[in-house]
Structure 1
Amino acid sequence: MIIAIASGKGGTGKTTIACNLAAGLEKPVTLLDCDVEQPNAHLFLQPRWTGSELFHLDVPEIDAERCSLCGACQELCQFNAIAILPEIAMTFPELCHSCRGCALVCQEEAIGWSKRLVGEVRWGCRGMVSLVEGRLRVGEAMAPPLIEQVRKHQGLEGELTLIDAPPGTSCPVVASLWGADFALLVTEPTPFGLNDLELAVGAVRKLGLPMGLVINRCDIGDRRVHRFAEQQGIPILLEMPFDKKTAEAYARGSLLVEVLPQWKEAMVQLYEKILETLRSWKAAC
């Protein structure tokens, strides 16, 4: 089963929930840190790294001697990665999505391929938790292909995989949520939290995923997030109040399930509620 943990905005506690859920279940879990622009699950899990690989994308190189400047490749490319000028064909590797469509429409067979470094994937473990993270190269804008590469490391069939998705609702989030069995949305009861939660709920519904809600720092702010969840029929699976000891442990980079017993109990109950919600959703379908 694949549970994607997401949020409409950063700072809601998404990674905290992901790491502590993974560590608190005391069963084999694979955690995929798909927030490739700012991976930080390793700060809490402190895994023993066991391997890594560089990830490259294929980008086109145009043979000027073969190219007839017909413009078919430029017309096909929806990302403006190829420009056909009167005397030369130019490519922009940073814009290329590596779909290879340009080579398919080139009648002159003038398109070859080179490699462009996008980022790195590394993996390690801590106890029964396997952590896989992607790390986007500085200055790189193409996060979804690296996220898809991280997703290839998900656990075996029958094992639990957790996905720590990037914040927001853009393409990297969709790449992280795609193919998941359940979306766990983490929010906070503030106007900003509600605004971004509405966007996240819309994205999850477009993907047709069942979802549940975690409200972090539930004793601050107001009740508008609660009313929104009720109106939308989204179950609130966990409410975590603000707690000084929790904040101190978080600031030290500790796993909360290891130092605060209430967090371990809360994570086990959260997982059971996710399973129950998923069963109810499947029965309703």
Structure 2
Amino acid sequence: MKLAIASGKGGTGKSMVAANLAFTLAMESQVSLVDCDVEEPNLHLFFPSDPATRDVTLPIPVIDESICTYCGTCGEFCRYGAISVLPKKLLFFADLCHSCGGCVLVCPEKAIHEEPKKIGTLSVSTPLPGLKLVTGVLDTGSPLSVPIIHEVKKETSDDPIVILDTAPGTSCPVVEALEGCDACILVTESTPFGLHDLRLAVDVTERLGIPAGVITNRSDGKDDETMRFCAEHDLDVMLTIPFSREIASIQSRGDLLCRVHPEWQKEFRSLFTKSKVLAGGEL
């Protein structure tokens, strides 16, 4: 079971939901929690531990200009504009390179080879007996987060229960995290911005063919428009978390709602059961 926790808008409580769900399930099952928000990961704040870390690299072309004839074949092939060939000079823009390897293949002089370039790190830890935490971190200044998300997902590809905390929004990093998931929980809030971005997130899940449900977080009881939208799109509102200063305080000190108030564990177990049904399972 691969379950994504996503949101159109940042700050809706997506990571809070993912952390509490993983904490609750890890009491009875083996759970993998994956932080796919590689530009600003935060799940390690809820589960401090001593992780094993390795580099994530991409193959980057290196051009031997002593062999290069400046024919321009590589530049014509590159759809990302990473290579520009002048009459007697070749310019390579590493930040535009997507590491497809095409330039190496098409070079008639075999003047191009690839070398690894570090773009981030991947960390794996076991903060609780039943919980594996996988975190990707994009290096400062590196523009490509998708390859790191791909690597963190590979780390848990064979695990029985995987909860993926995606980046906020609806851009490429979110699409990469959602790809291959059995279901998606979209976390929203009782604001016009929350509803606006929920619409965008629902559109993404529909286009990807991933069944989705909704959690309303920080609910002030004035969720009529959100409920109406969910009804129109046949979206189950799977859980409502009230607006609460105490819950916010628990979060701000890096603690978990389900640890401080164990009665919430029942709600999150029910949430996972509903998620399995959403993914095509049975009660």
Who is 1:7 aligned against? 7
- Percent identical residues: 42
* Matched ranges for 1:63-78 at <5 A: 63-78=64-79
CA distance in 1 between counterparts of 2:280 and 2:121 reads 36
1:19 match: secondary structure? helix
1:8 match: secondary structure? coil
Counterpart of 2:35 (choices 16, 33, 36) is 33
How far off its partner does 1:65 sit?
A: 2.2
CA distance in 2 between counterparts of 1:2 and 1:203 reads 17
Does structure 2 conserve the Cα–Cα contact (< 8 Å) formed by 1:30 and 1:155? Answer: no
> Quick one: which amino acid aligns to residue 22 of structure 1?
A
Give per-residue Cα distances to partners, 1:83-140, cap 9 Å, x unaligned.
1111111111111111101111111111111222101111111221110101111111
- 2:178 paired with 1:177: yes
Does structure 2 conserve the Cα–Cα contact (< 8 Å) formed by 1:93 and 1:116? Answer: no
> Quick one: which amino acid aligns to residue 60 of structure 2?
V
Who is 2:153 aligned against? 151
Who is 1:244 aligned against? 245
How far off its partner does 1:190 sit?
A: 1.1
How far off its partner does 1:204 sit?
A: 1.1
Unaligned 5+ segments in structure 1 are none
Who is 1:62 aligned against? 63
Q: 2-11 or 147-156: which moved more?
A: 147-156
Who is 2:256 aligned against? 255
Does structure 1 conserve the Cα–Cα contact (< 8 Å) formed by 2:36 and 2:177? Answer: yes
2:169 match: secondary structure? coil
Does structure 2 conserve the Cα–Cα contact (< 8 Å) formed by 1:219 and 1:241? Answer: yes
TM-score where L is the length of structure 2: 0.94
> Quick one: which amino acid aligns to residue 170 of structure 2?
T
How far off its partner does 1:220 sit?
A: 5.1
* Matched ranges for 1:1-285 at <5 A: 1-25=1-25, 26=27, 27-46=29-48, 48-127=49-128, 128-154=130-156, 156-157=158-159, 159-219=160-220, 221-279=222-280
> Quick one: which amino acid aligns to residue 151 of structure 1?
K
1:35 match: secondary structure? coil
2:33 match: secondary structure? strand
Alignment RMSD (CA, Å): 1.5
Give per-residue Cα distances to partners, 1:234-263, cap 9 Å, x unaligned.
111111111232122111111211111232
CA distance in 2 between counterparts of 1:71 and 1:250 reads 55
> Quick one: which amino acid aligns to residue 158 of structure 2?
L
CA distance in 2 between counterparts of 1:72 and 1:234 reads 50
How far off its partner does 1:277 sit?
A: 2.0
Does structure 1 conserve the Cα–Cα contact (< 8 Å) formed by 2:183 and 2:278? Answer: no
> Quick one: which amino acid aligns to residue 45 of structure 2?
L
Runs of 4 or more off by more than 6 Å in structure 1?
none
Unaligned 5+ segments in structure 2 are none
